[in-house]
Amino acid sequence: MACKFRLVLISILMSAAVLAASSPQKVVQTLEQVLRKEITNPKDSSGLYLRIIPASPEETARGKLQLVEIESKPARVRNIFLRELKARAVEPVIDVSALLERSKLRTNSVKESNLEGVMDADNFERMLAELKATKDMRIKVQITDDGKVILRGVLTLLRINNPFEAVCRPEVRDDCLYLRIEELRVNGVGAPSFLVSRLEKHINPVVEPKDLPFNPPIKSVRVHQGLIYVNTPPPKSASKG
């Protein structure tokens, strides 16, 4: 019991030391460094727009900010690839210890967090190639005019690689982006439901709030003319279809 109490006391003292050593300038500076590491523009290293508005000096030192805005065309957010990205976090509160000690962004709370993104087939392919569960499946992606996402790749069954084709519909579920498989063919033959379920578990969720800075929920997804619009409507000229 005494040992456990000492460990708790040490943890509290260490956290207090970090907070005492932190300053508003240090918090903002480190946050910018971490965000620029996690979010990049693959085509232009200076093409990422980042705006951080601190709160009061006391609040900022404790991890509270007034506003964070991010824009990039294109963008890579960790292992997520986008043609376009706009993100906005209002009054986020971040874990200062994680930020300053480990250069990790941990969001304790946020008043409002929004993300708008646009993805194409290449973005989807690169993302699936990065994910541990799907990187060996060599998946190619096609987005059709009628709003379907078709995946073609290799599914390993009994140590044998089998070509598959999955016809999917993107949808929102539990604030995440999912692909619901409408039809699955393996070796050209319709697959049973247990294989459909297995593949869905491999690829889903495609994107979830914890994958993104400040944990923005996915609220809507639309597909048009080969593009997937996340939390944003297609252009007016593309609003039908």
Residue 125, amino acid: E
pTM summary value: 0.83
Where would I find the beta strands (DSSP E) of the chain? 39-40, 49-54, 65-72, 75-77, 80-82, 84-94, 107-119, 140-143, 149-157, 160-173, 176-186, 189-190, 221-224, 227-230
Domain presence at residue 12 = no
Residue 9 domain flag: no
**Predicted pLDDT of residue 1:** 55
Sheet of 75-77: strand order equals 39-40, 75-77, 80-82
Point out the domain boundary residue: 84, 99, 117.
Answer: 117
Q: What is the CATH number of the domain that holds 159?
A: 3.30.530
* Identity of the residue numbered 197: S
Question: Does residue 4 belong to any structural domain of this protein?
Answer: no
Are residues 128 and 112 both part of a single domain? no
Q: Is 5 contained in some domain?
A: no
- For residues 134 and 160, membership in a common domain is answered with yes
Which of 117, 152, 187 marks a domain boundary? 117
Measure the CA–CA gap between 133 and 170, rounded to whole angstroms: 19
Which phi and psi (to 5°) does residue 33 adopt?
Answer: -60, -45
The tens-digit pLDDT sequence of the chain (241 residues) is 555 545 444 454 445 444 445 799 999 999 999 999 999 999 998 999 999 999 999 999 999 999 999 999 999 999 999 999 999 999 999 999 999 999 999 999 999 999 999 999 999 999 999 988 899 999 999 999 899 999 999 998 888 899 999 999 999 999 999 999 999 999 999 999 999 999 999 899 999 999 999 999 999 999 999 999 999 998 876 444 4
Q: Which domain holds residue 181?
A: 121-238
Q: Same structural domain for residues 169 and 184? A: yes
Distance CA 225, CA 32 (A): 35
